Amino acid sequence: DAGVTQSPTHLIKTRGQQVTLRCSPKSGHDTVSWYQQALGQGPQFIFQYYEEEERQRGNFPDRFSGHQFPNYSSELNVNALLLGDSALYLCASSPTIYPQETQYFGPGTRLLVL
């Protein structure tokens, strides 16, 4: 049983560009969350998708957007990249949206913005 997978593993972009990160949830999971982890910090919640809709959003600007597909996989898009967007982007999945459910994390995509 594959766990949460993310692609690509590493990415280098320049300021002003746009980037798309991808996530496939663990089998049987229908909820996908995205987190940003800056160097030396804890992950920060970006948003969560359930039933192809954004259900909750953290304190991130509109440059950060996402999508969930009918097979539950998800994309994170970041427009007009800033140097400060350099971070490890983590995807997490869970079987439902409810607070008692544990989230399982993928290995992350490391984004470097030059």
**Residues at the interface with other proteins (CB under 8 A):** 4, 31, 33, 35, 40-45, 48, 50, 55-56, 58, 90, 92, 94, 96-108
DSSP string, the chain: ----EEE-SEEEE-TT--EEEEEEPPTT--EEEEEEE-TTS--EEEEEEETTEEEEE-S--TTEEEEE-TTS-EEEEE-S--GGG-EEEEEEEESSSSTTSPPEE---EEEEE-
Which is closer to other proteins, CB of 85 or CB of 108? 108
Least Å distance between CB 27 and other proteins? 17
Which is closer to other proteins, CB of 14 or CB of 44? 44
Least Å distance between CB 13 and other proteins? 20
Least Å distance between CB 36 and other proteins? 11
Which is closer to other proteins, CB of 16 or CB of 101? 101
- Give bridge partners of residue 50 from the DSSP assignment: 31, 53
Least Å distance between CB 89 and other proteins? 10
